[in-house]
């Protein structure tokens, strides 16, 4: 969280398009903070994207709408299913289109999201985007869910939210927040 994933995906799209290359922008249909089908950064930039729903077949969509795309960019990839990840691998392997996904690795309970788990298995390359702990200067590796000023360690995996509900934190502050 708060590492600049969404601004990075918008920057990558801009760089491709500046060279006259088409991109396909996608995001999880679960993320509705800026509206379904929008990639939005905390600094105010946003862009329309195809919302990936449970029944979306990503491979079919790419093959039917833009099989000559230079790149497929996917935000909030942690919310994708195993089938979605396998469809993305087919885009790379069968259509020869590079795919870049952006998302969180683990949830507030320190469990992998389904999309993240299968990206860790099937991705050709993984790069970590770093951010700092909300409470200190260390690297943040955990997502701390907060409710009424108190840390939450149990509950439903998916609860859409931003800085009002989640803090990026280091391991120490995950277990001992200084709120």
Catalytic residues: 76
Asked if residue 151 lies in contact with residue 179, where contact means CB atoms within 8 angstroms, the answer is: yes
Burial label, 149 (beta-carbon count in 10 A; 0-12, 13-18, 19+): exposed
H-state helical runs in the chain:
5-18, 58-65, 82-95, 114-122, 171-175
Asked if residue 142 lies in contact with residue 117, where contact means CB atoms within 8 angstroms, the answer is: no
Asked if residue 71 lies in contact with residue 23, where contact means CB atoms within 8 angstroms, the answer is: yes
- How far CA 123 is from CA of 54, 88, 142, in Å, comes to 21, 10, 22
The pairing of strands 142-147 and 150-152 is: antiparallel
- Expressed in angstroms, the distance from the first to the final Cα of the chain is 18
Any bridge partners for residue 146, and if so which? 151
């Amino acid at each position: 969280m708060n590492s600049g994933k969404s601004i990075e995906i918008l920057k990558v799209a801009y760089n491709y398009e500046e060279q006259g290359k088409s991109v396909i922008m996608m995001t999880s249909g679960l993320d509705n903070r800026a509206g379904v089908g929008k990639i939005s950064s905390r600094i105010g930039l946003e862009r329309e994207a195809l919302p990936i729903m449970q029944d979306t077949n990503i491979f079919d969509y790419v093959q039917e709408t833009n099989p000559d795309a230079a790149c497929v960019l996917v935000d909030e990839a942690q919310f994708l299913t195993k089938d979605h990840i396998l469809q993305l691998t087919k885009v790379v392997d069968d259509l020869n289109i590079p795919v870049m996904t952006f998302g969180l690795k683990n949830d507030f309970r320190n469990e992998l999201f389904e999309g993240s788990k299968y990206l860790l298995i099937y991705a050709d390359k993984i790069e970590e985007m770093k951010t700092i702990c909300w409470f200190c200067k260390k690297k943040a590796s955990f997502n701390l869910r907060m409710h009424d000023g108190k840390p939450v360690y149990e509950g439903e995996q998916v609860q859409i939210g931003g800085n009002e509900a989640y803090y990026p934190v280091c391991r120490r502050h995950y277990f001992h927040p200084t709120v």
